[in-house]
Structure 1
């Protein structure tokens, strides 16, 4: 009886920790989405726009994860499946933007790209640090960690794109990086969906 009670207390404590972490990273990503999407349109950067969509997807993902944190494995797997679908939709949107920019080329404002991708890198680094201890706890938290890890790669890529836009005075580095980020998003979507389907079997 005591052992049962102890296990229940440990589980409750773990869920409380997960909730606390998810609330923090949800707010960080929601605020960064608003800032970066405005910067992306102002700076006319597809790579930065894909970065902002990442933040939006993460904010939605964290909200869903928060909802299912105290639910069973099936509910968490279904939430992860939905997250995978969201990542896939974001990838498709970025691909659409890349195609549009190929036919309507523009040189983005590299200063805006660099500044806001650096801000995003700091914010996502903090999120990754907060999520690190939860990365192997369950499918819900591991899929959240996957999203956060993608963001770091995305921020670094946009920084690289900003430097290349400045150096070459061309919009093509922005398009190339955005295309690579779309591939990263597609790959991440597949991993999350595959893990969720494995849990649902």
Structure 2
């Protein structure tokens, strides 16, 4: 059995940006909780709870990021590279849980509205927009390359949007006395959390369950490999994400001749280039076979 992988340039995620975001979100969380209690605004308190969930998720993301950089060992032959996928899954789940808590509170408040000190709501919403906006900028680049960072980024982005909604609500309450807007804005924030949380949890789940990456067509892989000179029938195929940066493939290759190891390595090298250039697969393990009696299906139930 031969194994090869292609070394590619990896985007280096900056953990210090997560630390800055954690500190900023702690600041806004404390300010909004105090302000929400003083003003009587449920939307402000809900935004604070969302911010606090972000603090927890950012800490979890930071820990997962550190763990994922650990080197492989005898007991952990892949290292802890999938820690960031677990963090993304948990962060997405917390988004959805927080959303339902907010909806419950908003519906209850909608039927029992009371006067809210809108000036305090407005100024704290502005502070929330500024703090979360800065955090979003800090994590934007990393979010484009890493699902864990994307989960943290989405938490912060939804926080910023929530603060915008709170600001709009505060202005409507100040100038029109529409205190029911506080509940409506809370529900809108929660619905958006459910939407983005569901999408993220679906992606993380697929990776954790070793689903074939969405952009990869197994039949197309077979067609391309069969074009490689010296390659026989590719079968018993598995393709999965180890993490966001690594896509693995393992398969059996029914060789047309009784190759020497040197000859097979040459064929394998050509296959490796095709799989990397056409599909982005950078870790390849292929078991060579010659006239072996085994199932030749593309997908074999192990």
TM-score normalised by length of structure 2: 0.60
Alpha-carbon shift at residue 73 of structure 1 (Å): 4.3
Deviation digits for residues 85-105 of structure 1 (CA, Å, limit 9, x no counterpart): 211121122112112212321
Name the structure where strand makes up a greater proportion of residues: 2
Quote the Cα distance in structure 1 between the aligned partners of 2:24 and 2:53. 12
The 3-state SS of whatever aligns with 2:82 is: helix
The 3-state SS of whatever aligns with 1:69 is: helix
Does 1:23 find its partner at 2:27?
A: no
Quote the Cα distance in structure 2 between the aligned partners of 1:91 and 1:59. 16
Does 1:60 find its partner at 2:56?
A: yes
Asked which structure has the greater RCO (Cα within 8 Å, sep 6+), the reply is 1
Aligned to 1:46: 42
Name the structure where helix makes up a greater proportion of residues: 1
Alpha-carbon shift at residue 192 of structure 1 (Å): 1.8
Does 1:76 find its partner at 2:70?
A: no
Quote the Cα distance in structure 2 between the aligned partners of 1:65 and 1:97. 28
Quote the Cα distance in structure 2 between the aligned partners of 1:107 and 1:187. 31
Cα root mean square deviation, aligned: 1.8
Aligned to 1:144: 152
> How many residue pairs end up in the alignment?
191
Contact conserved, 2:65 with 2:83, CA < 8 A, in 1? no
Larger Rg: 2
Uncovered stretches (5+) of structure 2, i.e. residues with no partner = 1-6, 69-79, 210-302
Q: Which moved more, 1:150-159 or 1:100-109?
A: 100-109
Contact conserved, 1:50 with 1:181, CA < 8 A, in 2? no
TM-score normalised by length of structure 1: 0.88
Change (3 A) 1:153 1:37: same
Deviation digits for residues 54-86 of structure 1 (CA, Å, limit 9, x no counterpart): 210110111001001131442211111111121
Aligned to 1:100: 108
Q: Which runs of 4+ in 1 moved over 3 A?
A: none
